[in-house]
């Protein structure tokens, strides 16, 4: 029984040691990879040497403007939704001063998710067409991956801004 306990403790400590080692070793590398991807991304405006042909330049210019249009639309609709949520909250607060700002969270989080799905669908349809164009002209599809990464990064940043503004409003009320 004593041997079993010693062996069990050995494996538990080994597991803990390996977990700490991998956390210290690999997590910073993942963060470095993310930073490197952002620095090398054509659509985030930090890398211009990826385009080698005029066809790629035209396709990527159109894609860049489409992504900008989507971001702008997403931001506007999110702002409109936030304004409506705040008005609705103020109305409910006037009726019942004990109303929590979180009482509307489920309703509006669902709307945000539906809005996000709508824009993601439009983006994926466009990006699939872009990928087909690149393949039909025998060009590298690396820029398609860059476009996907840039779109998701920008969308995440917009949502983070939205959540931070909402959090400030909740804290102030």
Q: How far is CA 152 from CA 8, 52, 141, in A?
A: 44, 25, 17
Are residues 102 and 24 part of one domain?
no
pLDDT in tens, 104-163: 878 888 898 999 999 999 999 999 999 998 899 888 888 888 889 889 989 998 988 888
Are residues 60 and 33 part of one domain?
no
Residue 44 lies in a domain: no
Residue 111 lies in a domain: yes
The tally of domains found in the chain comes to 2
Per the structure, the complete domain to which residue 22 belongs is given by: 1-39
- Model pTM? 0.70
Are residues 143 and 102 part of one domain?
yes
More confident residue, 84 or 173: 84
Are residues 137 and 95 part of one domain?
yes
Residue 14 lies in a domain: yes
Are residues 101 and 21 part of one domain?
no
Residue 57 lies in a domain: yes
From CA 64, how far away is CA 61, in angstroms rounded? Answer: 5
Cβ neighbour number for residue 113 with a 10 Å cutoff: 10
């Amino acid at each position: 029984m004593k041997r079993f306990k010693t062996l069990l403790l050995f494996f538990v400590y080994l597991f803990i040691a390996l977990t700490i080692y991998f956390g210290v070793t690999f997590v910073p590398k993942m963060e470095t990879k993310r930073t490197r991807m952002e620095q090398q991304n054509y659509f985030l405006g930090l890398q211009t040497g990826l385009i080698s042909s005029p066809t790629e330049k035209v396709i990527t210019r159109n894609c860049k403007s489409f992504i900008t249009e989507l971001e702008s639309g997403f931001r506007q609709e999110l702002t409109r939704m936030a304004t409506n949520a705040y008005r609705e909250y103020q109305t409910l607060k006037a009726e019942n001063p004990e109303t929590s700002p979180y009482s509307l969270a489920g309703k509006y989080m669902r709307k945000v998710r539906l809005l996000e799905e709508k824009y993601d669908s439009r983006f994926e349809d466009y990006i699939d067409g872009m990928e087909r164009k690149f393949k039909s002209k025998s060009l590298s599809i690396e820029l398609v991956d860059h476009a996907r990464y840039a779109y998701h990064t920008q969308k995440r940043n917009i949502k983070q801004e939205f959540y931070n503004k909402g959090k400030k409003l909740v804290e102030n009320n």
